[in-house]
């Protein structure tokens, strides 16, 4: 049986599905991730909302930095540019903030511990390995 090397791994597929669920719960497009939505509005939002999106991006980028490196949100948006991104009402933006903080704080701890235990998961090591192949 052949395997598709470009296919997403099961853990990554589950993480993307959970991410899309969080975006849908917070009034976003159910086919877009929270990170891509934040990346989109990081580039396109105008005052008074630009500070809100910058704050969410900083939290998410910090959480995923050990495995994805800098600019996780912008990279997610650039990989998903064809999606429709919905900013949502004040209620849904507040809910999105709660989801981001509630998910990213424990994620940041887990990912920092994970790259200590599995150094090959660190973004620099993954990029070096990708460049070799």
DSSP secondary structure string for all residues of 57-116: HHHHHHHHHHHH-S-HHHHHHHHTTTS------HHHHHHHHHHHHHHHHHHHHHHHHHHH
Of the two residues 52 and 3, the one the predictor is more confident about is 52
> Per-residue pLDDT for 1 more than 50?
no
Instruction: Write down the pLDDT at residue 36.
Output: 97
pLDDT, tens digit (0-9, with 9 covering 90-100), for 72-109: 999 999 999 999 999 999 999 999 999 999 999 999 99
Of the two residues 4 and 73, the one the predictor is more confident about is 73
Instruction: Write down the pLDDT at residue 6.
Output: 53
Asked if 122 contacts 63 with a C-beta cutoff of 8 angstroms, the reply is no
> Per-residue pLDDT for 11 more than 60?
yes
Query: Above pLDDT 70, what percent of the chain?
Result: 92
pLDDT, tens digit (0-9, with 9 covering 90-100), for 37-78: 999 999 999 888 999 999 999 999 999 999 999 999 999 999
Instruction: Write down the pLDDT at residue 105.
Output: 96
Of the two residues 65 and 123, the one the predictor is more confident about is 65
pLDDT confidence of 24, banded at 50, 70, 90?
very high
The whole-number average pLDDT for the span 126-132 is 71
Please state the φ and ψ torsions of residue 65, each to the nearest 5 degrees: -55, -40
């Amino acid at each position: 049986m052949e395997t598709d090397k470009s296919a997403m791994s099961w853990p990554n597929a589950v993480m993307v599905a959970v991410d899309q669920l969080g975006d849908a719960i917070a009034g976003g497009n159910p086919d877009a991730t929270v990170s891509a939505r934040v990346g989109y509005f990081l580039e396109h939002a105008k005052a008074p909302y630009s500070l809100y999106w910058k704050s969410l991006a900083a939290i998410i980028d910090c959480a995923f930095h050990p495995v994805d490196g800098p600019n996780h949100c912008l990279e997610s948006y650039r990989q998903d540019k064809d999606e429709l991104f919905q900013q949502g009402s004040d209620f849904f933006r507040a809910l999105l903030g709660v989801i981001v903080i509630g998910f990213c704080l424990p994620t940041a701890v887990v990912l920092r511990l994970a790259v200590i235990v599995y150094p090959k998961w660190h973004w620099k090591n993954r990029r070096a390995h990708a460049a070799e192949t």
